[in-house]
Amino acid sequence: MKSRFIAAFALLAVTGCATQPPVDEIRLVARAFDNLNTASQPLLDELALAERSQGQSAALARADAHSKAPSNTLPTSPGSEPCPYIQILGGRMEGVPAVQDGFCREDSYYYSELADPPGTRAFRQALAAVGGYTQLLVVLAEGRNLDEASRQLAAITGNLGLALSAAGVSGAGPTLNLLLEAFNPLLDLAAKGANAKELQRLVVQESLHVERLVKEMGNQAGEFFTTLTEASMARFNLALDKPDVEAAEAARIEAYRVAVSNYVVLLDQYGSLLSELVRIYDQSGGALTLASLAERSAQLSAQADAWRRSLAALRAGLR
């Protein structure tokens, strides 16, 4: 693929023809991302709720284990376990609540309602970084000023930093971490100039990193599903003699399976649109490629809207 681009650029240089950035194509891909992003946010909201609940349960379980362990067996080395000396008070008798006897800073994002817990934050900011890349292409293609491009680069940098730090806390996966780090070269490339030639280099050289990041976000869907369904799975397993409860929880689990599957499909379709955008630089593309992008962008929009509605029904308990 790269050799074809090099050959095409060499031919243009020899003939003296000026290439124009494919503005319409890039706008279509940017619109497709907006639809994907909008449709993804309710699922990420659900993920945040589930992750927050799990984090709080883990904090209570950890404190309870500290309460029952001999003092000489508690972890003492820094970083071995958060807040090793917080224990549980109460909760030993029916009707008596359990409470942690201290404050654990590391658990703040599982209790705060002001921000996402770390795993959700990693995915949300990674998605925002992909959107920032797409918007940067639009800024450059439309020939806007360097200040706008610089602001967009700053936004990408911020989202990458937040995603990387959150991935480190949540253990979102070393592959995701490496792909986020591989994303950084586009910042250096774009900072050198905001013109059509630079845009070509950005799309050709850096879109592969973005496509791989989008794919890896889809590969993490199993983590999404496990987190979203943990509570329902537990209730299902505890209700073996209650068919109505089992049926309700099974329906919720399967509805989440459909929702997460829709998320994966939309990510795949967006990655494919990015890949096709790169192919537009090959002179064999042209009007037919643009028509294909327009059709697929409209299809993604319709599918994203359908997914939003089905997820809204799930959240309202209608499925």
| CA–CA gap between residue 305 and residue 259 (Å, rounded) | 12
| CA–CA gap between residue 176 and residue 215 (Å, rounded) | 10
Quote the pLDDT of residue 124.
87
**2 within some domain:** no
Quote the pLDDT of residue 145.
65
**311 within some domain:** yes
Average pLDDT over residues 235-255: 85
Quote the pLDDT of residue 73.
62
Quote the pLDDT of residue 97.
83
**15 within some domain:** no
Both ends of the chain: CA-CA distance in Å? Answer: 46
Quote the pLDDT of residue 230.
92
Based on its alpha-carbon atoms, the radius of gyration of the chain, rounded to whole angstroms, reads 24
| CA–CA gap between residue 105 and residue 114 (Å, rounded) | 15
Burial 151-184 (b: 16+ CB within 10 A, else e): ebbebbeebbebbbebbeebebbeebbebbeebb
| CA–CA gap between residue 6 and residue 247 (Å, rounded) | 59
What is the model's pTM?
0.77
Average pLDDT over residues 141-152: 68
Answer yes or no: is pLDDT of 227 > 60: yes
Give how many domains the chain has, as a whole number.
1
**163 within some domain:** yes
**57 within some domain:** no
Answer yes or no: is pLDDT of 7 > 90: no
List, in sequence order, every residue forming a beta bridge with 89; answer none if it has no partner.
Answer: 99
Average pLDDT over residues 257-278: 86
**85 within some domain:** no
Quote the pLDDT of residue 143.
72
Q: State the residue range of the domain holding 35.
A: 23-47+113-315
Of 292, 180, 217, the closest CA to residue 40 belongs to 217
Quote the pLDDT of residue 284.
47
pLDDT in tens, 84-122: 888 888 877 777 788 888 999 988 999 998 889 988 888
Answer yes or no: is pLDDT of 71 > 60: yes
Confidence of residue 157 (pLDDT cuts 50, 70, 90): low
**52 within some domain:** no
Quote the pLDDT of residue 1.
41
CA dihedral of residues 311, 312, 316, 319 (deg, nearest 10) = -40
The burial class, CB within 10 Å (0-12 / 13-18 / 19+), for 265 is: middle
**108 within some domain:** no
Answer yes or no: is pLDDT of 154 > 70: no
More confident residue, 318 or 245: 245
* Least reliable range by pLDDT among 44-58, 171-185, 204-218, 254-268: 171-185
HSE-CB of 146 using CA atoms within 13 angstroms: 7
Answer yes or no: is pLDDT of 256 > 80: yes
Question: What type of residue is 145?
Answer: N
Please report the beta strands in the chain, taking only residues with DSSP state E, as ranges in sequence order: 88-90, 98-100
HSE-CB of 185 using CA atoms within 13 angstroms: 13
Answer yes or no: is pLDDT of 164 > 70: no
